[in-house]
Amino acid sequence: MHTTTVIEISDYIKKHADAPFKWGIFDCCVFVSHVIELQTGLQLHKPYSGKYSDEQSSIEIQDDIGTVESLMDSHFARVEPDQASRGDIHMLEDGVMALQFSGYRWATTKDGVKPSKVESKICWRVA
């Protein structure tokens, strides 16, 4: 991963350290999609942007457009979670999407972006 991208991701995490979770505005998918955009230029959040505002509508939009898992599979190869490297994206056991960075899985919480201790069930190689 390019040094500039590492700095941009680090700054993005710091900027959102206290940003509360809000469906469709700053949820786990919005968080990881912006990090993916920093790394690749892909704007994976575009089809979903502005189309959901709570958990139920996020489920409904996935029924219409496709699941987060299928979207990730269409762009990135899966790797074993224990083989994750900086910039890779996880789907955690609780369904939350998270970023592998600086030895942690970073995820959105009600209190901002924080390291998660929840185990990963799927991981995609992005970096």
For each of the domains in the chain, give its residue range(s) and CATH number, in order of start. Answer: 3-125 (3.90.1720.10)
Joined tokens for residue 45: 């959040």
pLDDT at 2 over 80: no
Of 80, 84, 113, nearest to 96 (Cα)?
113
Predicted pLDDT of residue 3: 67
- Return the structure tokens found at 98: 């998270």
> pTM here?
0.92
pLDDT attached to residue 62: 86
> What is the rounded average pLDDT for all residues in the chain?
93
Written as six digits, the tokens of 58 are 């996020």
Convert the pLDDT of each residue in 51-96 to its tens digit.
899 999 998 988 877 889 999 999 999 999 999 999 999 999 999 9
pLDDT of 103 strictly over 80: yes
Instruction: Give me the pLDDT at residue 27, please.
Output: 95
Q: pLDDT tier at 108 (50, 70, 90 boundaries)? A: very high
Residues 32-43 pLDDT 10s: 999 999 999 999
| Interacting residues of 42 by C-beta distance below 8 A, sequence separation 6+ | 36, 75
Query: Which of 77, 74, 105, 110 has the alpha carbon at shortest distance from 91?
Result: 105
Tokens of residue 33, six digits: 């999609």
4-8, 61-65, 79-83, 107-111: the lowest-pLDDT one: 61-65
- Kindly state the percentage of the chain with pLDDT values over 70: 98
Helices (H) and strands (E) in the chain, counts: 4, 6
Is-contact 105 92, C-beta < 8 A? yes
What is the C-alpha to C-alpha distance for residues 38 and 80, in angstroms, rounded to an integer? Answer: 23
Q: What is the dihedral of CA 69, 71, 75, 76, to 10 degrees?
A: -10
Identify which has the larger pLDDT, 8 or 1: 8
